[in-house]
Amino acid sequence: MMNLAEAITINAKARPDHIAIIEGSRVLTYAQLDTHIRSQAGRLHAKGIRPGDLVGLCLGDTTEHIVNLYALAYMGAVILPMDVRWTNAERQRVSDHFQAKLVLVEQDSDRFGTVETVALDKLPKNGEEPVLRTGNEIPLLLSLSSGTTGRPKGPRITHYQMLRRFWTHWINLALNSNARYVSATPLYFGGGRTFAMSVLFAGGTLVLFPPPFQPDALCRELARVDATSVFLVPTQLRKLLELPRETLVPFGRLDLLICSGAPLDTAERVAIDNLCPNFVEYYASTEGGGVTLGTRQTRAKQPDSVGIPVFGVSVEVVGDDHIPLPPGQIGRLRYRGPGVATGYYNDEEAGEDAFRDGWFYPGDLAEIDASGHVSLRGRSKDMILRGGINIYPGDIETILREHDDVNEASVVGWKAGLMGEEIAAFVVGTRPLEQAELEAWCKERLAPYKVPRIFIQVEDLPRNSSGKVLKTQLAERLPVFPVA
């Protein structure tokens, strides 16, 4: 029986003066963090939040984000992380879909739509501290694994499942109480949030480095705080590799450089190995946490692999009949472990293909060699990975089709150097449509990272006999439209 917030209290008792959070010049000890969390839980309780209530958390990468996350966890509320970069329409869609009781925002000007939104400074000033909710099956949060304009999916992750994900961080990554970890990816995203929570659970120090991401500034921050570890997505690392070698010296001193969020190619792995001798590639998913770990040693044996399974996780490659395939054959990747969610929140239909007999199918194609090294070979879904962020074409297609002069739309991704993948939108219009017009339309209705890089107007969309759009044929047209 446990609650993740209880670990903060335990750390506060064991090492009250140990630094928990650094945010610029602001420093919080574990004793101070524990006091803030309990006080905030009382204010949230006074606002009417009760165990089991679903509460949206739409806050930036600040200490207040961490405090409110743990305060909600303390009282047994279910957290719905929301991206501060979303438009109001996107926030409203997600809030409505999951029936959030209310959404916490930073200030009154951030309020939106019909759902109740509460600015942090508008919460009751005081409140009686609620009872700590404990139990292995208490839900902690929903972490969106799909889009915000189509049909978002929220894996239901319990306190215990999150704890088991932390175990892999301790055992495989040695993230512990000695860590001084720099959080340079948004707390909204699964990896950014999970690693930050894991460090605090272990009693280490969390250093917040909020957006916008500036490679040279990150190097200075690593040196300033004497960092031991950092988590970055491939897009961030590609930008860092463009810097002069002398600027990157702090990376050579790290005990741990974690990269996750999108695949790397073999040449990039070599370059990052040269940047930091303690670089690891962490293949993971929102639904299940860590799956495999690629290290300098695993790369020496299988350069194009994402490593071997992490502690407590079983990985298989199966055919369409769900029977495991022999080593070296490509098939559907599936995995299971104690940290894997068991389904999507209030959405059994969406989970039918993804969750089967205790296994989770992330939609990736892979092969496993005789030594257990896992190599990814593509995706069976249409998801686009841009800058380490999962982007679903349906989100963008829905918005484009809302334009009065767009009859049809289809969105595809293509391999691009810096971002990993970029987004292209093919549209069928009632009149000639300019790129600037469609771009402005999307910018008003989508988060910046979902806006297509190019818009291509066509007379019609290629389809098969059943009417399904043949996206592979659209993707084949992209070399005609190069983008730097």
Q: Are 335 and 401 in a shared domain?
A: no
- pLDDT of res. 479: 56
Total tally of structural domains belonging to the chain: 2
CATH (domain of 192): 3.40.50.12780
Contacts of 87 (CB under 8 A, 6+ apart): 444, 445, 446, 447
Strands, DSSP E only, in 369-419? Answer: 374-379, 384-386, 389-391, 406-416
CA atoms within 13 A on the CB side of 353: 10
Token pair 């602001």: residue = 26
Task: Give the domain-ending residue among 362, 377, 392.
Answer: 377
Length of the chain (residues): 484
Region of 468 (left: φ > 0; alpha: ψ -120 to 50; beta: rest) is beta
- pLDDT of res. 147: 41
Measured torsion, CA atoms of residues 346, 71, 101, 398, in degrees rounded to the nearest 10: -60
Residue 297: DSSP 8-state = H
- pLDDT of res. 377: 81
Domain range holding 344? Answer: 4-377
- pLDDT of res. 264: 84
CATH (domain of 388): 3.30.300.30
The list of the chain residues with pLDDT below 70 reads: 1, 146-151, 378-379, 381, 464-468, 479-484
CA atoms within 13 A on the CB side of 370: 0
Task: Give the domain-ending residue among 349, 377, 405.
Answer: 377
**Which secondary-structure segment (H or E) carries 233?**
none
pLDDT tens profile 151-199: 678 999 999 999 999 999 999 999 999 999 999 999 999 999 999 999 9
- DSSP string spanning 75-93? HTPEEEE--TTS-HHHHHH
Q: Are 448 and 358 in a shared domain?
A: no
User: Are 113 and 88 contacting, i.e. CB atoms less than 8 angstroms apart?
Assistant: yes
- pLDDT of res. 419: 84
Task: Give the domain-ending residue among 340, 359, 377.
Answer: 377
- pLDDT of res. 114: 87
- pLDDT of res. 420: 85
Rounded to 10°, the helix 4-14/190-202 angle is 40
- pLDDT of res. 470: 84
For the entire predicted model, the pTM comes to 0.84
